[in-house]
Amino acid sequence: MSTIPQDVRSTESETAGLAGQRAEGEAAAGLFGWWREADARARNAFVAASLGWMLDSFDVMLYSIVLAALVEDPTMHLSLQTAGILNSITLIAAAGGGIAFGVIADRIGRKRALMAAVLIYSIFTGACGFAQSALQLALFRVGLGLGMGGEWATGAALVSETFPARHRGKALAFVQSAWAIGYGLAALVNLLVLPVWGWRGVFFVGVLPALFTLWIQRRIEEPKIWRAAAPTERGRFSALFKPEIAGVTIAIALMNSCCLFAWWGLNAWVPAYLRLSPAQGGIGLSSTTMSLFVIAMQAGMWFGYVSFGFIADAIGRKPTYVLYVLGAAVLLPLYGVLRTPAALLFLGPFVAFFGTGYFSGLGAVVAELYPTAVRATAAGFCYNFGRIASAAAPYSIGSVAATRGFGVAFTITGAAFILAAVCWIWIPNTRNRELV
């Protein structure tokens, strides 16, 4: 029977003892060794998790991309504060869905849980295009959030359990980088569809990811390590709070709460910040220019995700995480006070690089600290507990932006990143441990 490691602090000494051996092996593997050394089952799992996460990002970020158009639509009667509440509702639903799907994935398998999550968020994204009021839009966003929350924990567990241990960080980093591609794709769809069919047409495009479930059904196999886990131990939520691991569980959940609050405080409002008129506190870019700025930020986000995986596999999760979140804490306030479009275009990719790249590490941290029977449960809880806290970000940051300006609002998000760095005092530094 798999159990929680008796002393998670032993990962610090394990990391130090194996550093030289692993560094030599990774250097020999080359830039794409992580892919070449994986078997077909691992590669299919990687594709499934990456596309699922990309399409998750695409669907959920469509709302932020069309937010200015929604606020300007007289039939919807949305203020900035109401728009922020709708985003917060989505995150609360995502938190509930993520925690539930973590348990579901441990109990019935990663494959079926992943299919269900993708199908749910796709259908409800398309439904948002039919909304006639803020209440209807809120109900559809709740459904979207349930599916959105379930995808990450399931995909992270699937990849962690199939890839070679020494390449786990890099594989998960590329999976996480798919979020940037999905976000950029949402901006591209907005660029092409909004001028022709309006914001409703943008949401209708979001139903297409449902077709992806057909591929998952045909090509994905359950990881051997999951099939070998004792069925009676799968998805036991109480295992996350055994005395030897409870403190780490709480620290990871609080750390991720700070990170997600900061991320949503920034990314839920960046498109609106760029698009709204100066009288409303924004920069006043056109919808087309705003989309191009957002796409440029996603390039920085993608490099942030990918680089994190390589660095974390080399030196460990903890120092890499702290480096990124502190970098974001410095850059975010600066982004909020700049008013020159050229300066924002230049700085945006760096903000996205540090302000999102750290998410590549969470899946590996959780995978290496918890056993197979509760791996998805732990990922679902630690990630989605943070979503509960982050649900306050769209509304609170929007309210501050409306009353004090985006400079103050983005400074608050920067402070959240500093708190995230502090939480790492209580989290061990893991690095490519063999899973149990």
- The domain that holds 47 is classified in CATH as 1.20.1250.20
- Residue 114 to residue 104: CA distance in whole angstroms: 10
Q: Which DSSP symbol is given to 229?
A: S
> Would residue 13 count as lying in a domain?
no
User: Whole-angstrom Cα distance, residue 12 to residue 426?
Assistant: 12
pLDDT given at position 30: 59
Q: Is the residue at 141 inside a domain?
A: yes
- The pLDDT of residue 11 is 45
Predicted pLDDT of residue 271: 83
Residue 200 falls inside a structural domain: yes
The number of helices, as runs of H, and strands, as runs of E, in the chain is 19, 0
CA distance 157 to 168: 11
Nearest CA-CA partner of 111 in 159, 164, 166: 159
Helix axes of 110-128 and 168-205: crossing angle, nearest 10 degrees:
30
Note whether residue 29 is domain-resident.
no
Structural domain for 60, as ranges: 39-219+233-426
Is 80 in contact with 401 (CB distance < 8 Å)? yes
Buried b (16+ CB within 10 A) or exposed e, 330-350: ebbbbbbebeeeeebbebbbb
DSSP secondary-structure letter at 74? Answer: T
How many CB atoms neighbour CB 279 within 10 A? 7
Crossing angle of the two packed helices 392-404 and 246-267, in degrees rounded to 10: 40
Within a domain: residue 112? yes
Give residue 177's Cα distance to chain centre: 9
Q: What CA–CA distance (Å, rounded) separates 269 from 235? A: 36
Number of folded domains that form the chain: 1
Is 2 domain-assigned? no
Averages of pLDDT over runs of 10 residues in the chain (436 residues) are 48 44 48 81 90 82 77 76 79 88 91 89 87 86 86 87 88 88 82 83 83 85 85 88 94 95 86 84 86 87 91 92 96 90 94 92 91 92 84 82 88 94 93 76
Q: Flag whether 212 is in a domain.
A: yes
Whether residue 416 lies inside any domain: the answer is yes
Q: Is 268 exposed, middle or buried (0-12, 13-18, 19+ CB in 10 A)?
A: buried
pTM: 0.80
Backbone angles phi, psi at 240, to 5 degrees: -70, -15
